[in-house]
Amino acid sequence: MATIGLDSLYYAKITEDASGHETYDTPRVLAKAMTAELGVELVEAILYADDGPAEVVKEFKSGTLSLGVDDIGATTAQDLTGCVVDSNNVVVSRSEDGGNPVAIGFRAKKANGKYRYFWLYRVIFSVPATSLATKGDSITFSSPTIEGTVFRRNKPDGEDKHPWKAEVTEGDTGVLESTITGWFGTVYEPDFTTGI
């Protein structure tokens, strides 16, 4: 079903242990969401045998996330891009800065009024793009776009795989109400236990 809206854009800072496994801070509001575009790059391998393809393997390599937002505050910019805020509360971007990975969560409203929820487990952002224009006869809003690269997380799930995205649709069969109501309280952890 088609989506007709986008809101509730959150991020969670990541802390890594000695083995690189992630733990997530409590999610914080990133900004008011305007657009979200997610592209995925796959690695593909084809095994040829008996003059034709015998096996095909496609695996997630990385993705790109482009977010159009209303504004990015100083603290959020610091958390996402690695810039610094000086003693005068001025955001300073330096050539040596680099963003630390964060998890990104949001939801998209479907035409039936239900929502599809997302968590991207590991995203590294670059400095936001800015587009400005002079005021003419009409008012034109200018807003930042921030782009990030999506990676799989280092920490394996309960099936010893490395997830890069979690997605659930409100109201689907088997989806617990607690999964939906708690979606932005913590970064969702995959659960492969049986007997639910």
Residue range 99-124, pLDDT digits in tens:
889 999 999 998 888 999 999 999 99
Q: What is the pLDDT of residue 141?
A: 67
- pLDDT band per the 50, 70, 90 thresholds, residue 163: very high
CA terminus-to-terminus distance, the chain: 26
Residue range 44-80, pLDDT digits in tens:
888 888 888 888 888 888 899 999 888 888 888 888 8
Instruction: Give the 3-state DSSP-derived string for 3-43, with helices as H, strands as E and coil as C.
Output: ECCCEEEEEEEEEECCCCCEEECCCEEEECEEEEEEEEEEE
3-state secondary structure of 179: helix
**pTM for this entry:** 0.84
Q: What is the pLDDT of residue 24?
A: 96
Q: What is the amino acid identity at position 67?
A: L
Q: What is the pLDDT of residue 142?
A: 67
3-state secondary structure of 50: coil
Q: Are 38 and 65 in contact (CB under 8 A)?
A: yes
